Structure 1
Amino acid sequence: MNHDAKLQFYARVDEKAAELPWYVREYINKKQRTLSPATLLNYCHDFIIFFDWLVAEGYFKGSRRDVPLDVLETLTVQQIEDFLLFLQFRLDNAKLTINRKISALKSLFHYLQNVAETPDLKPYLYRNAMAKVEFNPVKEDQETIAQKMSGKILWDEEYEQFREFVASGYGELFKDNKKLFNFHQRNRERDTAIVSLILGSGLRLSEIVGLDIDDLDLVKYSARVIRKGNKEQYVFFSEQAMRDLQDYLAVRKTKYRLDDKIKALFVSSPIGPKGTTRRLTPRAIEKMVEKYAKAFGKPALSVHKLRHSFATRYHAENNDVPKLRRQLGHSSIQTTMIYTHLTNDELKKAVDKMDQ
């Protein structure tokens, strides 16, 4: 992601932060040195939900942006537990999602109590109820996680079947629906390139979104990405992904009416009276994959499951966990080990078939 693209991403963070109290904006600004813009944007969304809940529950009569620090200081552990129940039963958040929101709030409250200082060197908060809140227990052994994942990813011939479906099958399926057919024809090279690149590299959604034209090395079949922790890395992709990227690049400029100033690799169709194009958002890519997955007959398939599909296939064909760990950008090798359980299960099924 080049400098201009980073500035645009941080502009979205600033836009959301502007909807929050001053001390949260200060926290977000401080964290820009250590957290990725994608993480900060997620934090902003989590904070907006929390402060909206405070106002809705009557803990402050006013706007979300004006919630004072003393409201946070007087919150009880039970009140925060009520918020977590709201997330679980009213918003239908999964335990892992709730844990992410707890983590964001713990980080904010820790900053307000232990890092931030008033002009007379006093903390913003003396009391921190979030420090007493525990995460949801969601620990599962790797075999259990692998079992849950196995039915939601692509196996064997499904890799190419799904890629072909995105490239042409979807259009054939909806050829009598002029709106869907025309939209597919306009974006099929782009959509195929995105799906093929994830299946051929295992890149994360945020890494796909952040790619610029200049990040691609079409000679070495690699892409420069910013991984978690703002670490730069060159990640290799497959020959099929290269071919699909070349097909997309051949039409990108004309189909999306781009000038040379737009460096984002994956862009949206021109919208509005001026035909404005912009970098595809994470949600736009998620919705695109969901659309194809549902029509393909595998609705549980998602961007992250495409990444899992790549990793499972890579391990099955190469059996090299350290290289897979680097390819995926995992900080811990234990995270990568889940794919050994997936492929071991497939081996067991193959052995069982011998007795049939």
Structure 2
Amino acid sequence: MRGVRSAEVEAKITRHLQRFADWLADGLGHDRLSAVTPREVAAWRDHLSDHGNTRHTASAGPMAPATVNNHLAHLSALFSWIIVHAPAALLRNGDPTKKVDLLRLPAPQVRALAAAQVRTVKNVLDRIEDFHQLTGRRHGGTTGKPTLHRHARPLRDRAIVHLILSTGLRRAELVGLDLAQLDPCDPAELRRVKKAALTGVRGKGRTVRTVFVGRDARHALADYLDQERPGDADPVSDALFLASSSIAARRPGGRLSPRSVNTIVDQVGRLHDAQTSDRERHLGALRPHDLRHTFGYRLSEASGHNRAELERRLGHANDRYLRLYTNPPDDIAAGYVEDL
């Protein structure tokens, strides 16, 4: 995998395989490959399912079935490689992962935001700078711009949320974007044109696609590029979205991490719920994939459930997930049967 997969994927595969090695050594007292049997692989699968997730409190909890299956896929790939390259006597009974079934995945859940929720989220985004202002007498005054927290980048956060809502980008795709992929990338042009695009977006399975950027996202990006990004950029800052330059531990070039996108989206969700008295509109924990699902559902409606368009814009070819984007949020589904 080294030199073939990205550094992030390489690290994940290494981590998964090390978990199996540690679990095997802990249970058998050694980690010899010849001792790995289908029984051991199945027991590891069940262990991950019941106790594989370490919580913040250091206690063990269940691991999601999809994550368990991801661990098994990486272990299977390792043994497939061993079968080809190792002496035949090493694994006398063949690949021990072949006879171990994957966990059944639950039906995908619809996580799209309803139209009323999208409206209130956008209203919060319009006012997001207000929530980052420093309060108190020393930060007051009647002239000049309000003082913001030194790490705060409200225009960047607004642009990120609008961009996911407008394009359905995944976290990794979003943080992997370079400024050069935005066409046009000039703020004045972004405000003027009626069509902008992100080219060469790299998704899962080595797919590459072009996504179009909606009006709200174009204007939010223009504000960010005009007012915030220049202050955080350095000579090696190719990324579209940059971490605050005041953060000492930021990545080289300032590129955001996928986890940072989680934090930004979650914070917007918390602000939304704090500003919304209508409990029916509350979002709870808002995640980037909720915004992606919202885009997918709205694109499905706008395109007449055009499968080819969904594949092209979402970078997904799996029927199981494409069907998910045609399912309406609960309040819309409830409305279908209200008067029947």
Kindly tell me the number of residue pairs found equivalent between the two proteins: 300
Matched, 1:304 2:289: yes
Counterpart residue number, 1:47:
17
Counterpart residue number, 1:24:
none
Deviations 1:190-239 (A, max 9, x none): 11111111000011111101100001112641112012222322111211
Paired AA for residue 130 in structure 1: T
The Cα shift of 1:282 comes to 1.1
Mapping for residues 101-140 of structure 1, pairs under 5 Å: 101-114=71-84, 116-117=85-86, 125-126=91-92, 127-138=94-105, 140=107
Matched, 1:155 2:114: yes
Paired AA for residue 217 in structure 1: D
Larger helix proportion of the pair: 1
3-state secondary structure, aligned to 1:93: coil
Distance 1:349 1:249, change over 3 A: same
Paired AA for residue 249 in structure 1: L
Which stretch of the first structure deviates more once superposed, 184-193 or 167-176? 167-176
3-state secondary structure, aligned to 1:132: coil
Paired AA for residue 331 in structure 1: A
Mapping for residues 1-356 of structure 1, pairs under 5 Å: 28-29=1-2, 32-33=3-4, 35=5, 38-57=8-27, 59-60=29-30, 71-90=32-51, 91=53, 92-114=62-84, 116-117=85-86, 125-126=91-92, 127-138=94-105, 140=107, 145=108, 148-149=109-110, 152-166=111-125, 168-169=127-128, 171-172=130-131, 182-183=148-149, 186-218=152-184, 220-224=195-199, 225-256=201-232, 258-270=233-245, 271-272=247-248, 278-297=254-273, 298-321=283-306, 322-333=308-319, 335-342=321-328, 348-354=333-339
Distance 1:72 1:275, change over 3 A: closer
CA distance in 1, matches of 2:250, 2:7: 28
Which stretch of the first structure deviates more once superposed, 48-57 or 318-327? 48-57
Distance 1:138 1:167, change over 3 A: same
Does the CA-based 8 Å contact 1:36-1:229 persist in structure 2?
no
Distance 1:276 1:330, change over 3 A: closer
The Cα shift of 1:276 comes to 6.6
Which stretch of the first structure deviates more once superposed, 45-54 or 233-242? 45-54
Distance 1:73 1:275, change over 3 A: closer
Does the CA-based 8 Å contact 2:34-2:91 persist in structure 1?
yes
Distance 1:283 1:123, change over 3 A: farther
Does the CA-based 8 Å contact 1:36-1:228 persist in structure 2?
no
3-state secondary structure, aligned to 1:162: helix
CA distance in 2, matches of 1:51, 1:333: 35
The Cα shift of 1:100 comes to 1.2
Paired AA for residue 327 in structure 1: R
3-state secondary structure, aligned to 1:100: helix
Which stretch of the first structure deviates more once superposed, 126-135 or 169-178? 169-178
CA distance in 1, matches of 2:250, 2:42: 48
Give the gaps of 5 or more residues in structure 1: 1-27, 61-66
3-state secondary structure, aligned to 1:267: coil
The Cα shift of 1:245 comes to 0.9
The Cα shift of 1:170 comes to 7.8
Does the CA-based 8 Å contact 1:266-1:280 persist in structure 2?
yes
CA distance in 2, matches of 1:285, 1:318: 28
Identity %: 25
RMSD of Structure 2 on Structure 1 (CA): 3.2
Does the CA-based 8 Å contact 1:267-1:280 persist in structure 2?
yes
